[in-house]
């Protein structure tokens, strides 16, 4: 697959990934749903069942060598039926001085994504934070639990369907009134 639309740096990564996947008996189109280039940044949208395999190839293949995962971010698109939740992984190759983004989606009804902890241990706290704020369950994570919100917190506050206000909050026995019921300081 030669996709010269976005220049030699991007197409080189795609071409090398296609070759490395073929050596494992995986077809590029069966693994990668879409290749997107925006503002000079290459994003590979990967099928969630193939996330670990793609991450291992990107890390271990000498032509690719994306040794560093810089984190995990969650995104919630309620209008994308069946693909509402996205996990985004920025990867960096120190060897080749280049970056790529891995993106995987899952539906609200089944918010599960394989954990990349076994490939990139640095994703530990990032996956916990994404779980805490977006509700994406990282299957295979060694200790998936809330990292910022209290353990008994209901909901995931970075999702677009989470209420913005108008509900009172109880935290450690203290109740904080909703914003629209608080005292005015004028």
> How confident is the model over 117-126, as pLDDT tens digits?
999 999 999 9
Q: Under DSSP, is residue 168 helix (H, G, I), strand (E, B) or coil?
A: coil
Paired with 106 in beta bridges are 85
Question: Positive or negative CA dihedral for 122, 113, 14, 40?
Answer: negative
Crossing angle of helices 7-23 and 51-60, rounded to 10°: 110
Among the listed residues 21, 32, 105, 10, the one whose alpha carbon sits nearest the alpha carbon of residue 60: 21
Per-residue confidence (pLDDT) for residue 150, from 0 to 100 = 86
Specify the higher pLDDT residue, 80 or 150.
Answer: 80
CA pair distance 53, 34, nearest whole angstrom: 16
> What is the spatial distance between Cα 97 and Cα 175, in angstroms, rounded to a whole number?
50
Q: What is the pLDDT averaged over residues 22-49?
A: 93
pLDDT at position 181: 67
Residues 79 and 170: their CA atoms lie apart, in Å, by 31
Give the pLDDT band of residue 137 (cuts 50, 70, 90): very high
Beta bridge partners of residue 137, listed in sequence order: 112
CATH of segment(s) 4-148: 3.30.460.80
CA geometry: angle 116, 39, 31, nearest 5 deg: 35
Among the listed residues 60, 76, 132, the one whose alpha carbon sits nearest the alpha carbon of residue 108: 76
Residue 47's CB is within 10 A of a number of other CB atoms, namely 14
Q: Is residue 136 within 8 Å of 111, Cβ to Cβ? A: yes
- What is the rounded distance in angstroms from the CA atom of residue 161 to the CA atom of residue 163? 6
Q: What is the pLDDT of residue 20?
A: 95
CA–CA distances in Å: residue 5 to residues 42, 91, 148: 11, 21, 41
3-class secondary-structure state, position 120:
coil
């Amino acid at each position: 697959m030669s996709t010269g639309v976005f220049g030699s740096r991007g197409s080189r990564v795609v071409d090398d990934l296609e070759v490395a996947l073929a050596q494992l008996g995986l077809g590029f189109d069966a693994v990668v749903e879409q290749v997107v280039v925006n503002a000079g940044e290459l994003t590979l949208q990967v099928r969630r069942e193939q996330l670990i395999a793609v991450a291992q190839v990107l890390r271990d293949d000498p032509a690719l060598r994306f040794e560093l995962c810089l984190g995990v971010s969650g995104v919630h698109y309620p209008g994308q039926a069946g693909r509402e939740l996205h996990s985004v992984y920025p990867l960096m190759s120190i060897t080749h001085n280049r970056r790529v983004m891995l993106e995987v989606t899952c539906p609200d009804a089944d918010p599960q994504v394989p954990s990349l902890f076994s490939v990139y241990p640095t994703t530990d706290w990032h996956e916990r934070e994404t779980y805490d704020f977006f509700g994406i369950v990282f299957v295979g994570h060694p200790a998936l639990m809330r990292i910022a919100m209290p353990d008994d917190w209901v909901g995931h506050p970075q999702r677009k369907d989470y209420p913005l206000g108008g509900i009172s909050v109880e935290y450690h026995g203290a109740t904080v009134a909703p914003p629209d019921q608080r005292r005015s300081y004028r």
